[in-house]
Amino acid sequence: MHLLSCVLVILAITGNTGTTGFDFLRITPTAREAALAGSPVARPAGALAFYYNPAGINSSNSAQFTYINHVAGTHLGSIGYTQPIDAGRAIGVGVFYLNSGTMKRTNEIGEELGTFGVSYANVNLSGSLQPRPGLNLGLGIAGLYGTMDTFFSLALASNIGLLYQPPLPGLNLGFTITNLGFQLKPFSSARDPMPLEFNLGASWEPIPEINLNLNLNQPIDNRFNFRAGVEGWVNQYLALRLGYNSLGSDLMGGGGSDALAGFATGIGIRYDRFQLDYSFTPMVILGTSHRISLGINL
């Protein structure tokens, strides 16, 4: 596979390719949020909640681990930890990593020239503050590193978040500006813009067992889109989840599986201090993506 082709494959695994650098930031790192198609901006959960909205950091000590078997033979992993500082303040730290595995390097006429790989890492430190009841503010700072063959890139990014609980019981509203930053060192001489996105979300629990989510998303390099998800707890141990991302139409290839484009599903199992989540995302022409996350309240 030619180097340029491999790069395009890595960028395409987000299903939202544009003209920005560090597009891997658009890959959802946890199973619960992936099963809800990335919709829980107003109600993220787990120790990596700050990845979706830094204002949503847990109010208790918790840790979370995720493994992703993604498309194009790509593997990803994440680990996060959150801890309250005092009443109304908390911090979270996490690492999100992507590895393409080994790929063949070829020239324009198909001659093999050895192998190469692509990898990315995101180290994130976030904090949240509650200036008054019902209102949470959050800020995250991320250091980004990428390698592609013998080239590497460095970048800094920030995430800004807000969560608000209006008087209506069960309703939460969220707003984020994510991936606001710049490349310190590009892969080549030209710097790419960061994958900046604006998100406005709502989450509603009509009853404690049902959670409905909606996220309106505007990236700088793609069209406006929405993500929706529903989470239902069958009992105290088992949750069923279903989500839809309107950008799924970009993955259609004209086959019978196009009906699945944009959908995601998954389950959650909770016992004592532990929660195990699994998600399945059919990405049609690109393949399928599987995620499994383990969360622990410490």
Distance between CA atoms of residues 118 and 120, nearest Å: 7
Return the closest-CA partner of residue 281 out of 297, 261, 295: 261
**What does pTM read for this prediction?**
0.89
Q: Residue 156 in contact with residue 182, Cβ under 8 Å?
A: yes
CATH number of the CATH domain containing 204: 2.40.160.60
User: What was the pLDDT predicted at 166?
Assistant: 95
Domain with 49, as residue range(s), is 3-297
Whole-angstrom CA distances from 235 to 57, 206, 238, 264, 290 are 25, 16, 6, 21, 24
Q: Residue 68 in contact with residue 264, Cβ under 8 Å?
A: no
Length of the chain: 298
Q: Residue 257 in contact with residue 282, Cβ under 8 Å?
A: yes
Distance between CA atoms of residues 103 and 135, nearest Å: 48
pLDDT in tens, the chain (298 residues): 344 444 444 444 444 455 678 989 999 999 999 999 999 999 999 999 999 999 999 778 999 999 999 877 789 999 999 999 988 899 999 999 999 877 777 777 777 778 888 899 999 999 999 999 999 999 999 999 999 888 899 999 999 999 999 999 999 999 999 999 999 999 888 888 999 999 999 999 999 999 999 999 999 999 999 999 999 999 999 999 999 999 988 777 777 678 888 999 999 999 999 999 999 998 877 788 999 999 999 9
User: What was the pLDDT predicted at 9?
Assistant: 44
Residues 6 or more apart whose CB falls under 8 angstroms from that of 265 comprise: 35, 241, 242, 243, 279, 280
Number of domains in the chain: 1
